[in-house]
Amino acid sequence: MATLELAGIVKSFGATQVLQQIDLALADGEMLVIVGASGCGKSTLLRIVAGLEQPTQGRILLDGKDITTLDPSARDAAMVFQNYALYPHMSVFDNMAYGLRIRGLAREDIRRRVDEAAALLGLDALLTRKPRQLSGGQRQRVAMGRAIVREPKLFLFDEPLSNLDAKLRVQMRAEIRRLQRRLGVTSLYVTHDQTEAMTLGDRLLVLHQGRPAQLATPMEVFERPADTYVASFIGAPAMNFLPGDLTAGGAAVRLSTGVEFPLPGTRPAGPDGQPVTVGIRPEHIVLTEVPSAAASDRPGALHLHVELIEPLGSESVVHGRLDHSDPQDLVVRLPGRAPPSERLAIRLLAEHLHLFDRATGQRLADT
């Protein structure tokens, strides 16, 4: 298969710089997912790798060979697009075979490759149909089959599931991951969907305004986000953020509500009194007891004024505001049904707190 290296990639459109110093190295057979909000530059980066755009600066190396200036057809990369890009007048077989015919492959070799890909994707019975006779999921399989028959060194996926309904997205997500692992082809996958990113990638590159915010495994990004942007983007519902200050010589943190939490670790998180942003995921907030005067004396006790409950069957998402002179929004994810109450006593699990510098948004060391 192949390795892929991006060295110092910069891309500008006129005076607007959309990518800033992107450095990446993909191992043979690795699947890296590029994730970020719309407009962060992720599709532009994929198009640069494909050869559909030229970088303003930087180099692209595929298996050690510089392909920066090569024509897309000479890059040994296959791309799966968001809109399938199938020829409507051609059958499934002809759509999958078209690129091979252009390259001048023998008819027997074309038949063999298409039949193998069709068997792999469950398209055997659909080879004579036209795209209009297929479902969205079947069309996406044909688009993937067209990429597979080329036997490329590199797969490029540009939000291939965004046009599918929710149930089909889940099914196709699993199929793409199984297929990529089975074929062992080095892959770049672009998405704005953080669930896709978490479930598909060996590693994630989180882009923010054209800059790499974090490059790590999915669980490392989830458990130790590099900054408040990554923390808010990865995870659903998003992480809660509350203002606080370091106390006890940096060994504890006090929220603006007055509740104080000791911090794990042997070294202080920072100087005493440093302003911080405290992050806590909705699933790391638990109920304590029915609100009462006694509950306010318990360590870590907070009161939530409930504004909205979203019942999701196995869990409930509660939206509310902390009862305080400076009310703050908070989202809590609870197992099962949420109590039908306008006011809940809750507790933040101190071992799951994330601390970020309030000025820069960067994660504090040793937290």
User: Which tens digit of pLDDT belongs to each residue from 91-109?
Assistant: 999 999 998 998 889 999 9
Backbone angles phi, psi at 237, to 5 degrees: -60, 165
Burial grade of 139 (CB within 10 A; 0-12, 13-18, 19 or more):
buried
Tell me the C-alpha distance between 78 and 147, whole Å: 5
CB atoms within 10 A of CB 78: 23
Residue for token pair 């590029």: 34
Across 306-321, average pLDDT:
92
Domains of the chain: 4-233 (3.40.50.300), 240-357 (2.40.50.140)
| Segment (H or E) for 17 | strand 16-26
User: Which tens digit of pLDDT belongs to each residue from 206-265?
Assistant: 999 999 999 999 999 999 999 999 999 999 899 999 999 999 888 889 998 888 888 876
Distances (CA, A) of 142 to 154, 190, 263: 18, 19, 53
Cis peptide before 237 (omega within 30 of 0): yes
Give the pLDDT of residue 194: 87
Rounded (10°) CA dihedral 162, 167, 172, 174: 120
| Cβ atoms of 319 and 243 closer than 8 Å | no
Average pLDDT, rounded, for the chain? 89
Quick one: pLDDT band at residue 325, thresholds 50, 70, 90? low
3-state secondary structure of 35: strand
Is the per-residue pLDDT at 320 higher than 80?
A: yes
Give the pLDDT of residue 283: 95
Token pair, residue 14, equals 């006129």
Give the pLDDT of residue 186: 95
Across 139-166, average pLDDT:
89
Quick one: pLDDT band at residue 289, thresholds 50, 70, 90? low
Tell me the C-alpha distance between 328 and 40, whole Å: 29
**What pTM did the predictor assign?**
0.88
Tell me the C-alpha distance between 185 and 182, whole Å: 8
Across 296-314, average pLDDT:
80
Quick one: pLDDT band at residue 163, thresholds 50, 70, 90? confident
Q: Of 141, 140, 68, 130, nearest to 94 (Cα)?
A: 130
Give the pLDDT of residue 225: 96
Quick one: pLDDT band at residue 291, thresholds 50, 70, 90? very low
Amino acid at 123: L
Q: Of 300, 280, 277, 291, nearest to 341 (Cα)?
A: 291
pLDDT > 90: percent of the chain: 62
Helix count and strand count (H, E) for the chain: 8, 20
